[in-house]
């Protein structure tokens, strides 16, 4: 059935891929973004489609539209961006969620919250499943994002209990792929850009800390599958790749794939940076019949190709 679907943060990295997938599925898509970290370039290929509409709007202000479903993807996700204006980051998660939930309540739309593995903080449980309540510093430099997303989850479930709203909550683990920004500040984009430009690859800490990397196509497929479940299924549901890699392994793989001569430099670990991050995706497997299919080397190769092209377009030297 053809639906009218709102994607907040739709011009961002994840949001733009989601918009494209929904357009491919023959839905009408309203993409809303304030372009703080999103870019019109990310959705340029969709602008000629009659079923796609782009609107500049900040969800910390109310939005009045008529839609059937809502994906709330709006919020800067990299530490560089969300720590630049931490108060605004918190407002986006909290005020933004209140406004978008209010919209969903008014039009009785099904609504999905793009939450994050950051709700688990620096975890004492490994791997992390959805029953774990997390270990988050409420007053640290990352708190604006971590606690903002935790509060957003609270609001979603309170709207469910108080107003019988149809909600979905996805906890997204590290995701990578084309359309990440050159200055994104996240580890995959940092390492690839440094390797392609011949600069030293910067590892914070001793390189033994781990992450689990999910390619964007797999992640977006999981979001759509979750949205398409019955109203009884609310989540939270972890979406991510359960295969774990150290930062050193990631750096060495990217150096190999780019044939780079970059050296590796070690710097102090930032405050509250998690030592381990790995999702338990049993709930996603059982509920959504979902699991990632794109292996790290394949996904990295596609991402490297994207950044190689982008760097050439920007006129930056490439090794």
User: CA-based angle 224:227:233, to the nearest 5?
Assistant: 135
Helical H runs in the chain? 13-24, 79-84, 86-107, 143-163, 187-196, 216-227, 247-258, 282-288, 296-313
CB 297 within 8 A of CB 172: no
**214 — phi, psi (to 5°)?**
-110, 130
The CA distance from 304 to 294, in Å, is: 15
3-state secondary structure of 202: strand
Nearby residues of 24 by Cβ (< 8 Å), 6 or more positions away? none
Helix (H, G, I), strand (E, B) or coil at 70: strand
| Cα 31 from Cα 55, distance rounded (Å) | 6
Residues facing 111 on adjacent strands? 70, 167
For residues 294 and 272, give the distance between their C-alpha atoms in angstroms, rounded to a whole number. Answer: 30
52: which strand partners? 29
Q: Please, which residues bridge with residue 244 across strands?
A: 212
| Rounded CA separation 162/149 (Å) | 20
**Active site positions, annotated:** 145
């Amino acid at each position: 059935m053809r639906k009218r679907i709102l994607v907040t943060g739709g011009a961002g990295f994840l949001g733009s891929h989601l918009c494209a997938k929904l357009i491919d599925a023959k839905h009408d898509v309203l993409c809303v973004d304030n372009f703080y970290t999103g870019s019109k370039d990310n959705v340029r290929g969709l602008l000629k489609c009659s079923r796609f509409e782009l609107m500049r709007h900040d969800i910390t202000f109310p939005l009045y539209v008529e839609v059937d479903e809502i994906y709330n993807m709006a919020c800067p996700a990299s530490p560089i961006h969300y720590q630049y204006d931490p108060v605004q980051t918190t407002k986006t998660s909290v005020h933004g969620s209140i406004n978008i939930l209010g919209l969903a309540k008014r039009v009785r739309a099904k609504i999905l919250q793009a939450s994050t593995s950051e709700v688990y903080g620096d975890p004492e449980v490994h791997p992390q499943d959805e029953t774990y309540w997390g270990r988050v510093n409420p007053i640290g430099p990352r708190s604006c994002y971590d606690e903002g997303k935790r509060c957003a989850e609270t609001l979603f479930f309170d709207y469910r209990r108080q107003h019988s709203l149809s909600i979905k909550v996805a906890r997204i683990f590290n995701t990578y792929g084309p359309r990440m920004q050159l200055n994104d500040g996240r580890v995959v984009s940092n390492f690839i850009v440094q390797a392609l430009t011949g600069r030293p690859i910067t590892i914070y800490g001793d390189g033994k800390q781990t992450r689990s990397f999910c390619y964007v196509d797999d992640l977006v497929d999981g979001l759509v599958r979750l949205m398409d479940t019955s109203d009884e299924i609310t989540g939270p549901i972890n979406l991510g790749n359960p295969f774990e890699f150290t930062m050193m392994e990631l750096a060495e793989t990217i150096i190999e794939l780019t044939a780079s001569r970059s050296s590796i430099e070690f710097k102090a670990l930032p405050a509250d940076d998690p030592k381990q991050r790995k999702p338990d995706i049993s709930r996603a497997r059982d509920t959504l019949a979902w699991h990632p299919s794109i292996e790290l080397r394949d996904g990295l190769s596609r991402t490297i190709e994207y950044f190689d092209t982008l760097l050439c377009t920007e006129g930056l030297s490439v090794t």
